[in-house]
Amino acid sequence: MNESLFDSSQIPEKPPTPERTGTVRIEKPERTQIEVRIESLDERIPWDHPVRTVWEFVERLDFEDVHGDFKSFAGGPGRSVKDRRILFAIWLYGYSEGIGSARRLDALCRRDDAYRWLAGDVAPHNRGLPQPES
């Protein structure tokens, strides 16, 4: 029994594939497009991100003795200083990610959203991130 379900003379032949001409469509990166985003730095960090846990921990610590050494007061001469909690939190979070270089942390505070959030978008220069003594 070599009967087929359909008569092969009734099956239309596949039409020939048209020859493709023109240029190939390729999606290329567009890096010069101007974007306007209205969002806060806080919105860019998910609520369950580890950097938030580090900050919550550091906020509970007493830094009163450390802040007593400051000589710059409101209404007087001198430049304001960074809150020591920020510096400590940057080091703590950095160590948790295997980073122990002040220069690397300084760079991350300028370009990585988690570190920018931790620093409050006030990037401390690497001299402002003194290497903790071991």
Convert the pLDDT of each residue in 47-88 to its tens digit: 999 999 999 999 999 887 766 666 667 777 777 777 788 989
Percent of the chain with pLDDT over 70: 77
pLDDT tens string 81-134? 777 889 899 999 999 999 999 889 989 998 999 999 999 877 666 555 555 554
Distance, in Å, from the CA atom of 118 to the CA atom of 86, rounded to the nearest integer, reads: 7
How many of the other CB atoms lie within 10 Å of CB of 109? Answer: 26
Q: Check residue 3 and give its pLDDT.
A: 67
pTM (whole model) above 0.75: no
Task: Quickly count: other Cβ atoms within 10 Å of residue 49's Cβ.
Answer: 14
